[in-house]
Structure 1
Amino acid sequence: MTSTTPDAAGDDQPRLPAGRKAQLAAYVAEVEQVTVAALSAKFNVSADTIRRDLDQLDADGLVVRTHGGAVSPTAMRAVEQKLDIRLQLQTSAKEKIGALAATLIENGSVVMINAGTTTLALARHLGDHRELTIATNNLRIPAEISDRACRDLYLFGGAVRLRGQATVGPVSFQLGAGNTELDLRCDVAVVSVGAVSADGGFSTSNLAEAAMMGEMISRATRVVILADSTKFDRTLFAQVAELGRADFLVTDAAPPVELAAALEKAGVRVILPGDEVGSLPRIH
């Protein structure tokens, strides 16, 4: 008979009992997203036991394991909605964020921009800029951005994710028949993320996209993260970066107290509607 009392650290964990397995899976499906700490308290087992349980459930396809917890497969599918559907969500917030983020970009900058509906809003607000060099995996940006704003516009290659209208692959270009890979650097990476939390940092629902976003960040002098307030205190499947990798978070409402404190500690400046445009730093 398997005990459900808290296990001692380092003890071997027996296979997840069928009863608790069903209860855990049902509970995650009900609440859609939950932390290890909350599950530990609810099921009266240690956090280590819950982590191992979730690993098993993830392997069985019953939950999606995230940093610090789990989400239900149904909730994850909802996140993976088609771009045309997501374009209709939080439209006012995204336009405010896009307009604010545009004020941070200096004329003549080299900018990397990832896929997403909020970065499309940014592209629409770059119309008064000039001499920008933009590299992106967002297939919609060429149609959204003013041709007067760009000196050069590059699309990263790779597999096309039709739902997100984006390419997924390396952040690189090759030169000539020798396939010499160019060393790419940019003044600023503007990255739209699916979740922001004190513990999980910046995250998204797709592993390949997370890797691509992380590579954009690694090649940038400055990093601007875009996220509306519905993304706060959430953690999705794949971490993009820790909070401290960003210089700015542009959003539509002040983060909750704990997250605000974590951002401040990490050195991230939060940019909100109502901030004096003239006082905002310009990135170049």
Structure 2
Amino acid sequence: MSTSVQPPANAKARRQQRIMAALRAAPAIRIVELATEFEVSTETIRRDLDELGQAGLIARTYGGAARPVASEPAIVERERLMVAERRRIAVAAARLVGSSEAIMLGGGSTTLKVARQLAGSLTRATIVTHGFAHAAALAANPNVRVLMVPGRYEPSEGIVVGAETVDHVGRFHAEVAIVGASGITLAGAADVDDEAAAVYRAMRLCADRVLTVADHGKFGRPAFAIHAELAEMGHLVTDQPPPEPLARALAMAEVQVTVAA
């Protein structure tokens, strides 16, 4: 009986994905333990960690690696960053929304650009959101019905979050959910705030399809709370092609990627 041998590139990609998964479960990992688990040499693991560290996906430590935590400025500050890039993303995302009439819209600076674009392009829709600025932008279109979910107000982000927010989102069904991300790594799309991530996750689970909108600055940037593994991200709309090994992992996860022109 013959056995097939996986190509080294695929074996390395899968191993690195498992390393990232291990860091999701524990704040730190050690080279010796990984080498034993994957049945490879410590030098192989060390090279994996060096590569992931150079890509900004992990924080290298003596004898292993740790999970770095990203932070973000307030939304009013992020609004001034990558304005042209996010505008292109918003135009592409609105085009992909098409004639959908039931939409979930997550909070964030990139999704706010999408809200403004949708306000000018939709002819009829009901949109559920937890972002106050998003609701205000959409309300400029009399053909858009905006439903604001309840919850605890987070002033730095202009959104509501919490158990009540998640519960209320779960009462709806949408054709499409549009969510952002503080970072996208081999582990998936994540947000710096775990409560915001819970809302994005709830929106994703209530929708037929998902658009994840994020500029290239989010690639390889770890964040605290993962709201979608790569295979759950749906359709990624961005302004530049993702770098390797993230591009390879997205392809393996069958994530469709649209690079806004």
TM over 0.5: yes
Distance of 1:8 and 1:253 partners within structure 2: 37
TM-score by length of 2: 0.73
Runs of at least 5 residues in structure 2 that lack an aligned partner in the other structure: 1-29, 35-53
> How far off is 1:105 after superposition?
1.1
Paired with 2:175 and 2:225, the residues of 1 have a C-alpha distance of 25
Deviations 1:122-144 (Å, cap 9, x if unpaired)?
A: 11111121111100001101221
Cα–Cα, structure 1 residues 158 and 273, in superposed 2: closer, same or farther, change >3 Å? same
The size of the alignment, in residue pairs, is: 208
Q: Does 2:149 match 1:159? A: no
Residue 273 of structure 1, CA deviation = 2.0
1:8 Cα deviation (Å)? Answer: 6.3
2:125 is aligned with 1:122 = no
| Aligned equivalents of 2:222, 2:203: Cα separation in 1 | 20
Aligned counterpart, 1:203: 190
Q: Which has the higher helix share?
A: 2
Which residue does 1:66 correspond to in 2? none
Provide the rounded CA distance (Å) in 1 between the counterparts of 2:170 and 2:93.
Answer: 28
Amino acid at match of 2:166: V
Distance 2:88 2:33 in 1: 48
Q: TM-score, normalised by structure 1?
A: 0.68
Residue 190 of structure 1 contacts residue 226 of structure 1 at CA under 8 Å; is this kept in 2? yes
Moved more, 249-258 or 102-111: 102-111
| Helix, strand or coil at the partner of 2:202 | helix
Give unmatched runs, 5+ long, in structure 1.
1-5, 11-30, 52-68, 174-180, 275-284
1 CA distance for matches of 2:98 and 2:181?
22
Of residues 162, 171, 176 in structure 1, which corresponds to 2:166?
171
Deviations 1:208-258 (A, max 9, x none): 111111111111110100110000011111111101012210000011021
The Cα shift of 1:147 comes to 1.9
1:267, 1:7 → 2: CA distance? 30
Identity in percent = 28
- Following TM superposition, the consecutive aligned residue runs of length 4 or more in structure 1 with deviations greater than 6 angstroms are none
CA contact (8 A) 1:108 1:130 kept: no
The structure with more radius of gyration: 1
Q: 1:88 to 1:184 in 2, by over 3 A?
A: same
Q: 1:259 aligns with which of 243, 246, 252?
A: 246
Deviation at 1:84, TM superposition (A): 1.3
Q: Confirm or deny: 8 A CA contact 2:57 2:221 kept in the other structure.
A: no
Shifted more, 141-150 versus 222-231: the winner is 141-150
- Is 1:192 aligned with 2:180? yes
